[in-house]
Amino acid sequence: MQHGKYRFIVGFLTAPLAIYGLFVIWPFIQSIYYSFTDWSGLSPEFKMVGFKNYTRLWDDDVFWKSLQHSVMLVVLLPLVTLTLALFFAFMLNVGGRRRKNAAIAGVRGSAFYKVVYFFPQVLSIAIVALLFQFAYNPNSGAINSFLKAIGLDSLQPDWLGDPDLALWCIFAVLVWCTVGFFVVLFSAGMASIPKDYYEAALLDGANRITTFFKITLPLLWDTVQSGWAYVGILALGAESFAVVQIMTVGPGGPDYSTTVLPLYVYQKAFRDGQAAYATTIGVALLLVTLLFVAVVMKLGRRERLEY
Amino acid sequence: MKTTDTPPADTTGERPPVTKTAPAPAPQEKATGRTLNVFSHGFLILWAFMVAMPLLWAVMTSFKTDKEIFSSPWSLPDSLHFDNWSRAWTSANMSDYFLNTIIVVGFSLLGTMLLGSMAAYVLARFEFPGNRFIYFLFIGGMSFPIILALVPLFYVMQNLSLLNTLPGLILVYIGYSLPFTVFFMTSFFRTLPTSVAEAAFVDGASHTRTFFQVMLPMAKPGLISITIFNFLGQWNQYLLPTVLNTEPENKVLTQGLVQLAVSQGYKGDWSGLFAGLVMAMLPVLAAYIVFQRQVVQGLTAGALK
């Protein structure tokens, strides 16, 4: 198969590599270079300023707030999302009534649950964010009027307007739209675990909680680990940007209580005309992301189980 | 899940295990199973409710008058106000947003699939110096924060006169969809048998012809999965157009809706906005319900690799 091989390889790789290089790789490299300049983005002139942007970053309170919120999201979002998803998937797969022959069984209607749970996954994050912005509306939103309807008139929080609550509102929306995907994913993984394992364990007197930790979780660990990385990257990137930018006042408010790193990059570059400084914040975000991926790889490493 | 001691609420309809192959469970185990069932249904229904309610609420609200939206958010509309929908479709430019989205996603999906599977095929099937390097160059793009690249990209696009144009947006969509597409298709091409391609090549087909007429048809299941994945990703894309495509008449659906939320906020036309939201939401949900199995497969395929 040697004939014309290299001509073919070059022919097939040129177009994809050109587009990928020009629109993805090249800007990435440039952005690291720009973080050492004083480029405003508005004029083509700039000069090298060494680490000046980085020392400015060190003293920037808004940066530290954004970092704090992004770190909170990257730690808590995978934890809460994956725990809920594992719980629901386990309920779907072993929560059913006993049928003849089987020691464990899925709940009735599990197909229905999976269809409904998956809804948020096919919707755009922009639509979800807009929807919840109205649901959180303190005067006529779905949530407060629901609370009123069930007799909780005194409990009418300001949600997105309350600096102590706003970030948790954002968090809840991110959980809402990511759990379903993982319920379906984990559920498929759990369904492929042989039933005899559970039968044997239950026969030996193990309870269901034990079977979850001793059988289900170890056999599902690879999927959980990649899910962990996936949700974390999502919490640091485009998803949290969209939700905060669309839903919050400011955006990022009130009083910087919801600002996150990608939003701060966006605002510095395209609102304040400080492109170089924006790339510096972006480099910090890159470091947080790489650190997170490294931690997931390290903590997540387990012996691979074959079954 | 500590419900072992609670007596089961419901004892009817429970059948004892009848066949001998089933291990006879201890009575206590049986009770656990039953309470667990009630318990698990409870939680599962609660979450289903929490997922479905906001969506149903949006559909309901899109048929109300503005006054009803504010005075009684949870009551059913007094009559179905379809004028909200027609107002959103025409005067709020939803029709333009739909058209732009269809153009952008159509072309970029085609480009992504073609270029992505070409690159993946070469990387999966041919040994050459730099193969690994190019592969990891593509894969690396999956975990980098896109926003970092967007600042310089904005000016790259400006210099190429591609900023705020649909062709520019199409190229960018292709570029940012390539990493996952190449990753997924490379592992898919590796699983296909080599003998068929070799036979075609021996019979005198060129490499290019072998790819288009033999390998691509064989890779159809993988192509379907990744097409669905990219379609949803590009159709729902918000970050890229927000930064790179700010011309009002070029806006795609997601940014158009956000734009609408801002402008309708001034005008107080909430019912029109909800109609727009639901209009954008329903086609995707309907397509999902029809092609459920394929959509779930497409979206979960990558995570299971």
DSSP state of B8: P
pLDDT score, position B19: 43
Chain B contact set for A206 (CB, 8 A): none
Q: Are residues B152 and B262 in the same domain?
A: yes
List of residues 6+ apart from B120 with CB closer than 8 A: B181, B182, B184, B185, B186, B188, B189
Contact between chains at A27 and B206 (C-beta distance less than 8 A): no
CATH code of residue B186? 1.10.3720.10
pLDDT score, position B107: 95
Within a domain: B46: yes
CA distance A123 to A130: 12
Spatial CA neighbour of A260 closest among A275, A273, A242, A274:
A242
In chain A, what are the domains? 60-300 (1.10.3720.10)
Within a domain: B69: no
Within a domain: B153: yes
Q: Are residues B151 and B287 in the same domain?
A: yes
Within a domain: B67: no
Contact between chains at A1 and B146 (C-beta distance less than 8 A): no
CA distance A257 to A277: 21
Q: Are residues B128 and B201 in the same domain?
A: yes
Q: Provide the 10 A C-beta neighbour count for residue A94.
A: 24
Q: What is the pLDDT of residues B177-189, one digit of tens each?
A: 999 899 989 988 8
Question: What angle in degrees, to the nearest 10, is found between the helix axes of B146-159 and A261-270?
Answer: 20
Give chain A's largest Cα–Cα span: 79
* For residues B213-240, average pLDDT: 87
Coil, strand or helix: which one is A271?
coil
Within a domain: B142: yes
Q: What is the pLDDT of residues B35-66, one digit of tens each?
A: 767 777 888 889 998 899 888 888 888 887 77
Q: Are residues B41 and B97 in the same domain?
A: no
* For residues B132-149, average pLDDT: 86
Does residue B8 carry a pLDDT above 60?
no
Q: How confident is the model at residue B108 (pLDDT cuts 50, 70, 90)?
A: very high
Tokens of B214: 């033999």
Nearest-CA distance from B269 to chain A in Å? 13
CA distance B203 to B31: 67
Within a domain: B154: yes
Structural domain tally of chain B? 2
Tokens of B193: 């048998």
Nearest-CA distance from B65 to chain A in Å? 14
Q: Are residues B31 and B98 in the same domain?
A: no
Per-residue pLDDT tens listing for chain A (307 residues) = 556 788 888 888 889 999 999 999 999 988 888 888 888 877 777 777 878 888 888 888 888 989 989 999 999 999 999 999 999 998 888 776 665 556 666 777 788 888 899 889 888 898 999 889 888 888 777 788 788 778 777 777 788 888 888 889 999 999 999 998 999 889 888 888 888 888 888 888 877 778 888 888 888 888 888 888 889 888 888 889 999 988 887 787 788 888 899 999 998 888 888 888 899 999 999 999 989 988 888 887 766 566 6
Does residue B24 carry a pLDDT above 60?
no
B14: domain range?
A: 1-61
Q: What percent of chain B has pLDDT over 90?
A: 13
Nearest-CA distance from B29 to chain A in Å? 8
Does residue B225 carry a pLDDT above 70?
yes
CA distance B106 to B102: 6
Of A140-154, A168-182, B10-24, B262-276, give the range with the top mean pLDDT: A168-182
Spatial CA neighbour of B236 closest among A127, A225, A63, A107:
A127
| Burial class (CB within 10 angstroms; exposed 0-12, middle 13-18, buried 19+) of A72 | middle
DSSP H helical ranges for A35-124: 52-58, 61-94, 110-122
Q: Are residues B123 and B215 in the same domain?
A: yes
Chain A contact set for B74 (CB, 8 A): 142, 145-146, 149
Chain B contact set for A241 (CB, 8 A): 147, 239
Q: Which amino acid is at A64?
A: W
Q: Are residues B124 and B233 in the same domain?
A: yes
Q: Which of residues 98-127 of B touch A (CB under 8 A)?
A: 115-116, 118-119, 121-122, 126
pLDDT score, position A9: 86
Chain A contact set for B155 (CB, 8 A): 41, 275
Q: Are residues B186 and B286 in the same domain?
A: yes
List of residues 6+ apart from B122 with CB closer than 8 A: A8, A9, A12, A13
Rounded alpha-carbon distances, angstroms, from residue B227 to A156, A280, B141, B208, B221: 45, 35, 19, 22, 10
Does residue B26 carry a pLDDT above 80?
no
* For residues B21-41, average pLDDT: 61
pLDDT score, position B5: 40
Tokens of A50: 């060494």
Q: Are residues B23 and B151 in the same domain?
A: no
Instruction: Tell me the average pLDDT of chain B.
Output: 80
List of residues 6+ apart from A127 with CB closer than 8 A: B236, B254, B257, B277, B280, B281
Contact A51, A283 (CB under 8 A): no
Does residue B27 carry a pLDDT above 60?
no
* For residues B216-224, average pLDDT: 86
Q: What is the pLDDT of residues A264-276, one digit of tens each?
A: 999 888 888 888 8
A–B interface: beta-carbon pairs under 8 A: 308
End-to-end CA distance of chain B: 32
Within a domain: B122: yes
Q: Are residues B108 and B3 in the same domain?
A: no
Lowest mean pLDDT: which of B87-96, B114-123, B137-146, B261-270?
B261-270
Coil, strand or helix: which one is B104?
helix
End-to-end CA distance of chain A: 38
Does residue B242 carry a pLDDT above 80?
yes
Q: Are residues B170 and B48 in the same domain?
A: no
pLDDT score, position B257: 87
Within a domain: B78: no
pLDDT score, position B14: 42
CA distance A96 to B41: 9
Q: Are residues B110 and B17 in the same domain?
A: no
The H or E element spanning position B35 is: helix B27-61
Nearest-CA distance from A198 to chain B in Å? 11
Question: What angle in degrees, to the nearest 10, is found between the helix axes of A61-94 and B27-61?
Answer: 130
CA distance B275 to B61: 8
* For residues B287-294, average pLDDT: 84
